Structure 1
């Protein structure tokens, strides 16, 4: 089950990245992380940049709203989806969580 944690500055969740795949896709879960296959190689931060770009597109948020908190050099990453306002309402938080969960096939 994907764990989505509320934080004062946004929502964090784990991602497992599989680089050098044939296409960019979200394939479900890898343990408690969202599993993403990316075409970019794990060289010169290319896979991390594509991870942010691809997830931003899937979640319909700006790339600047996503940040890798940990796991920059590994496959297991902790991502932060930053809130656009300082105090988002519960409905906005719920919509974001549902959108993340809807990515799981």
Structure 2
């Protein structure tokens, strides 16, 4: 899995405030990596399989790229084994 390209993702930099909670609906084993905004929900499709945390890592990488942040600034708060997840943007 290579790093997602910024040009293929929406600009979500307005959501990158520290303390911001990001509700995410994940589709693992998708045909390609995408991020779609539907109201307050982010729909993220990743090509990674949901095994051993690979899909969670892929979602974190894609969200971080779209937000313009380092992946380490996104914490998975809820939903490690669920399709519905909650990520929180942390400060430096």
In structure 1, what is the Cα distance between the partners aligned to 2:32 and 2:47? 5
How far the C-alpha of 1:32 sits from its partner, in A, is 4.4
Q: CA RMSD in A?
A: 1.8
Q: How many residues align?
A: 77
How far the C-alpha of 1:58 sits from its partner, in A, is 1.0
Instruction: From the CA coordinates, give the structure whose radius of gyration is larger.
Output: 1
The structure 1 segments of at least 4 consecutive aligned residues displaced by more than 2 Å after TM superposition are none
Contiguous gaps of at least 5 residues in structure 2: 1-14
How far the C-alpha of 1:83 sits from its partner, in A, is 2.2
Deviations 1:3-46 (A, max 9, x none): x7x8xx611120000000010001332x7421011000111100
TM-score, L = length of structure 2: 0.75
TM-score, L = length of structure 1: 0.67
RCO higher in 1 or 2 (8 Å CA, sep ≥ 6)? 2
Contiguous gaps of at least 5 residues in structure 1: 85-105
